[in-house]
Every structure is written in structure tokens, then in C-alpha cells.
Amino acid sequence: MSTARANRLTPYLFLAPAGIVLAVALFYPICYMVYASFLDWNPSQRIGEADFIGLRNYTKLFSDAAFRESMWVTIKFSAVVVTIEMILGVGLALLLDRNIRGMSVLRTLFILPMMIAPIVVGLMWRYMYHPTVGIFNRTLTDWGFEPIPWLADGDWAFASIVIADIWQWTPFIFILSLAALQSLPASAIEASKIDGASGWQQIIYIKLPLMLPVLIVTLLLRLIDSFKVLEVILVMTNGGPGLSTEILSIRINRTASEFRELGEAAAMSNLLLIILLILTFAMFIYNKAQEVRAQRMRAVEEEA
Amino acid sequence: MPEIRLQHLRKDYGVLTVIEDLNLEMADGEFTVLVGPSGCGKSTTLRMIAGLESVTGGEIMIGDRDVSQLEPKERDLAMVFQDYALYPHMDVAKNMSFALRLARMNKTDIDKRVKEVAETLDLTAYLNRKPAELSGGQRQRVAMGRALVRDAGTFLFDEPLSNLDAKLRGQMRAELALMSQRIKKNMIYVTHDQVEAMTLGDKIVVMKFGEIMQAGTPEELYRSPANKFVAGFIGSPTMNFLNAELVDEAGTLSAKGDGFSIPLPDARKGALQAHRDRNIHLGIRPSSFAEGPGGLKMPVILSEYIGAQSVLISELGGQRVSIEVNTVAPIRAGEEREFTVQGDEVHLFDPKTEAAL
């Protein structure tokens, strides 16, 4: 083998271990899951013993009202939390983007919720929502109000998991927005002040449009994450009462462990995976489009 | 009546005082250039006038209005920034019309104004382009256009040409000079480039360490610098400074140094009497040397041929001096030439206070 050829192959040699790990750790489980979704498989069987039933698991899903309900809960949950978190996160970033003493401490405090393990967050909120000894209801009764059935009523339970998720994930949007804000060209904002823009006008006409690329990526990241949420809700409500907070991942978990339908659970996981892939792909395409645009502009600039 | 007055202006950043007590008057319609080395407070002063930097003390009067505590938009000014500060997400037309749109001017008027200004700046073809699709020079013109459509009372420029290459800078400087003649507004221009200051300014304010070293017309600053700093800052090539002693030679005061003695005109005798027999700093502009017989014999160490002029690096009494001469024929290094200096063209400075004598 010539030296040049050997040199060309060297990088692949070094990449190979990572490639193998990736293949084993990523592709094998995915293929396994896809294959399992075509089986009528129950946990007491080995995978080889399960019957192959083709697409029947999928067709069953679409006629299953409980699954459709769970899909709807997931979509509703994602839409609500991501909308509120975006508004709060960006709003907070706009509010806290200034040099006041103690601001760095405040910023660190704001991102604390993100660092707590989801199980702990779930437990914490479950105790706070506790009908009698929880801080919310105790405070309400102390002030002379009726206690609220936080986790016992379907609508309130949904609101409760939304609140917990907002508490935990608004900081994520906040830090990304703040980083975006602080990297905006200071002189453009100064120019807008001279041009007569009020604080609001600076936000609407200059800051938000310039932050938009970061905001779109943040939005997609959060959407992807919110579709996969499990632990907090599992600990807080376990999907109940009824199906009111049964998001897709809880449904999958129950289908596998409670209903012992591994094939059906795999089919649901695949559907979820497809949704997430579409979102990820949207983000990828958006990033690519941005890059192409930047490249085109650079080309024009060089030409000029 | 002076149009803009800075009175006892002060700026502190925490414990650091950048500007202590600045006083300056700018007449109506005057083109004022603030010039000085980096860190001299010129940009801070401009930003305080703009309202982008808070004022620690003192007043900024525009007409008889103290604007020092007002928001930038209430000060009736337009500004051109060093990095142009265009809005990257708006096209050229939108960039230029932003202020007018905020002021809720009607659309046909806006379009008319933008078109007019774009025409004078040669930007008509680019109105639909985003800033990223323009060259540096074009962006610069858009920044200028954005200020011009405003028709504000005062125009501020923060080193607007420093990001351009030398050739373009020369062109834009000329365009700016033409523009300022045409629209006759208050203009305050910050630069570290003394050539820009000399060519553009009706009045030049030389600053150092937050203080005004001298303010005056370009000619005043060049002909009679108030101190050694201004003398060294204004003029290119830089003025030569030599150590000398003021001596009385048979009734005539002379600046006498190692290897030279330059008789001073009798008119200056009275003012200089007090400094007789003392050390002084002697300032001689490179262009004050005239080649001719009977002068100082000086070696040519280096000859920089520029074209019509040559700058010679030479030595006088062990000190480096540069000499600017008209090039008749290129002068070679290693030659020895004779140069005379007229006594009324030299500048004398107190070595301690550096003030002109």
C-alpha cells in the first residue's frame, strides 16, 4: 500500500472505534425497536418466539381512543408549555440584560431549576401540590380560600404539570435568549436609540428580529424535549387522573409494563421517534438555510 | 449665539475620572473635529453629547436647552458610527427610513426623502439590498444616508472613515467635506487622524487625557500650537523637537544647541527675555528646512521619495530630524546637504510645562 493511500486511510482508522460504538449503541436498539413493532410480543417470550403480525400494531394504534387521547395530551402539553416558556424566557432575558450589581448571581439562581434531577423536581412538586399538607393548599386555606384539587382533578392536574414544566425549563430559554441578546451588535441598538426608538420599539424592531435565528433553534429544541418528557409527570400524576395527563411516554411505559404489549409499545415509540425526527429535520434544514444565506452574502461581499 | 456648549462636563466610570472639566463652545453650523490619541476622551465626549453615555456632571447646552439628562431621541441629532451600525435585518431603504417610520411620517414623504438622499449618495441601485450584501464603502454611505434623511439639527460622527481602506477613505473624506458645505449643520466629528481633522474641520479640538489641549482653526493649530503636544500631533510629517538653550549672541537671541544656532527674530525678544540662558525645546517642522548654501551641514541617513516631495531622515547634534524637501532630483542616502532654518518658523517650548513660549 502506498504511503499516500495509508495516510488517507489513517483518519478512518482512528474514527472506527467511535463508529463501532455508535453503531452498537444507537443503530442496534433502533433496529431492534423497529423490528419489535411488527411483533405480537409479550415480556414472558424471547423475541424469537413472538409472532410476526406486520403492521397490525400500527393500525391498532390509530383506532385506539386511549392512544389518540394520549397523543392529543402530548401535543397540547408541548404547545402550551413551549409557548409560555418562550414568552417568559425571552421576556426575562430582555428584562435582565443589563449591568446591575448582583445580576450575575441572579442569573445563576435562575438556571438552578434546570440542574435539578427531573425525579426530584417531580417529587418536590408532588409534595407542594399535596391536597392537605402541600404549601399551595396550606397557604390558600390560611388566606381563607378553598383548597384546589391540584392533582386530583383532570384540568387542574394538566395545569399542574404545565406549571412544573414551565418552572423547570423556562431557564433554558432564558439563558439562550440572554446569550443571543448579549451578542447583538451594541452599536445597532445605540443607532436605534438615536433614531428615536423607545424601549419597546427597540425590542420589537431591532432586538427580536436579530435574535430570531437563535429563538427558532431554541423553540425547536424545546419542542423536541417536551415531546419526550416523562419523569416529572410520572412522579407527579402517573398520567392521571383518568387520562388527563397521560403523555405519550407514560402511555408507552404503561403499554409495555402494565399491559405487557411490547410490540405495541415499540410501535408507539416509533411514531414518537418519527415526530421527533421531523422536528429535528426542520431544525437541521433551518440551520442549513441560514448557512447558505450567510455564504451567499459573504460571496456578494467579496465580489463587491 | 453659540449653538452647542459643553459646560464643566465631567465623566466618571466608578472611581476612574475620564473627563474632569471640559468646556467647549461650537458655533451654529460649525464643523468641529475632536481629535487626539486613543483614550483621550474624544469618543466619550461625543457619546455624552449623543446621550449614549450618561453625564456625571456639567451641562450640554444645545441652543438654550440643557440636554444632558434627555434621551438621545429628544436631542434632535443624527449619528454615524465607526462600524456603521446598520440594522442587519433591514434593507438599505428600511435602514435609511427607520427614524422617519418611527416618527410616523407618511409613506409618500418617506419614499421621497429616501430617494433624494439615496440619489445624492449613489445608493439608488442598492435600496433593496441588505447591509451584508454591500461593500464597506457602500455600507459607509448607507450609514451617512441614514443620518442625512433625518434632517436633524446636529450630526455626530464617531470615526466614520476608520474602517475603510486608504483610497476609499480619501474619497469619502472629500465627499464629506462637500456634504458639510452643502448642508451647513452643526457637525461634531471624532477622529484620531490629524489629516481628517485638518481637511474637514472649521474648528479642531485637540484632546489628551480628557483635557482640551487647544481649540482653534486648522491654521491656528498648525501655525501657532499652544503646546508641544499639539505641535507634535498636528502636521505630517511630525514636527522635530531638539534640545537647545536660549542664548544672547551679540544682542540677538538665538536657540543654540549641539551643532546649530538659530537666531530668533527681534520681535520675539521681549517675550523670550525671561527664558534667557535657560534650556528650551525647539520645534522645527520638517517643511521649515530650506536647502541652500551657508546653512547647517546635515547628512542624509535615509531618503523617502514620495513623488513631488521627499522626506529625508538626518541628524542634528546627535538627534534625529526629518526634513521635507521638494524633489528636484531624487536625493540619495549618504550625501551631505546644507539646510537653513528661518528663526520666525521655529517653535519654542518650555521643557517643564511644555507650553509654547
pLDDT tens digits along A149-202: 888 888 899 999 999 999 999 999 998 999 899 889 888 999 999 998 888 999
Residue A195 and residue B150: Cβ atoms within 8 Å? Answer: yes
Q: What are phi and psi of B295, to 5 degrees?
A: -95, -160
B contact residues 195-254, partner A, Cβ 8 Å cutoff: none
Has residue A218 been placed in a domain? yes
Q: Which residues contact B295 (CB under 8 A, 6 or more apart)?
A: B338, B339, B340, B341
Question: What is the count of residue pairs from A and B with beta carbons less than 8 Å apart?
Answer: 75
Q: List CB contacts (< 8 A) between B99 and chain A.
A: 194-196
Please count the structural domains in chain A.
Answer: 1
B contact residues 69-98, partner A, Cβ 8 Å cutoff: 71-73, 77-79, 81-89, 98
Q: How many CA atoms lie within 13 A of A98 on its CB side?
A: 7
Has residue A153 been placed in a domain? yes
Which residue segment(s) compose the domain that A82 sits in?
66-303
Q: List CB contacts (< 8 A) between B78 and chain A.
A: 194
CA-nearest residue to A212 within chain B is B89
Query: What interface predicted TM-score (ipTM) does this complex get?
Result: 0.81
B contact residues 41-60, partner A, Cβ 8 Å cutoff: 50-52
Laid out side by side, the sheet with B65-66 consists of: B16-27, B2-13, B57-62, B65-66
Query: What CATH number does the domain containing A296 carry?
Result: 1.10.3720.10
Has residue A46 been placed in a domain? no
B contact residues 295-354, partner A, Cβ 8 Å cutoff: none
- Is A201 near chain B, with CB under 8 Å? yes
- Is B102 near chain A, with CB under 8 Å? yes
Residue A188 and residue B87: Cβ atoms within 8 Å? Answer: yes
Has residue A28 been placed in a domain? no
For residue B153, count CB atoms less than 10 angstroms from its CB and return exposed for 0-12, middle for 13-18, buried for 19 or more. Answer: middle
Please state, in angstroms and rounded to a whole number, the distance separating the CA atoms of residues B214 and A143: 71
Q: Which residues contact B268 (CB under 8 A, 6 or more apart)?
A: B253, B344
Helix H or strand E segment including B320? strand B319-326
Q: Distance from first CA to last CA of chain B, Å, rounded?
A: 32
Domains, chain B, in order of start with CATH, read 2-233 (3.40.50.300), 240-349 (2.40.50.140)
Q: List CB contacts (< 8 A) between B102 and chain A.
A: 195-197, 201
Please state, in angstroms and rounded to a whole number, the distance separating the CA atoms of residues A183 and A211: 9
Please state, in angstroms and rounded to a whole number, the distance separating the CA atoms of residues A211 and A178: 10
Residue A187 and residue B83: Cβ atoms within 8 Å? Answer: yes
Has residue A284 been placed in a domain? yes
Has residue A124 been placed in a domain? yes
Residue B87 and residue A297: Cβ atoms within 8 Å? Answer: no
- Is B130 near chain A, with CB under 8 Å? yes
Query: Length of chain B, please?
Result: 357
Please state, in angstroms and rounded to a whole number, the distance separating the CA atoms of residues B276 and B280: 10
Report residue B129 as a C-alpha cell: 439590498
Q: What's B355's DSSP letter? A: B
Question: Per residue of chain B (357 residues), what is the pLDDT tens digit?
Answer: 458 889 999 999 888 889 999 899 998 888 999 999 888 889 999 999 999 998 998 899 888 889 889 899 888 899 999 989 999 999 999 999 999 999 888 999 999 999 999 988 888 888 988 888 888 888 989 999 999 898 888 899 999 888 888 888 888 888 888 888 888 888 999 999 888 899 899 999 999 998 899 999 999 999 989 999 999 999 888 999 988 888 888 778 888 888 888 888 888 777 777 888 888 898 999 999 888 887 888 888 988 888 888 888 998 878 889 999 887 777 888 888 888 888 888 899 988 888 888
Residue A188 and residue B71: Cβ atoms within 8 Å? Answer: no
Cβ–Cβ under 8 Å, residues A146 and A137: no
DSSP class per residue in B5-27: EEEEEEEEETTEEEEEEEEEEEE
If you search the block for the grid coordinates 425547536, which residue do you land on? A220
Residue B52 and residue A190: Cβ atoms within 8 Å? Answer: yes
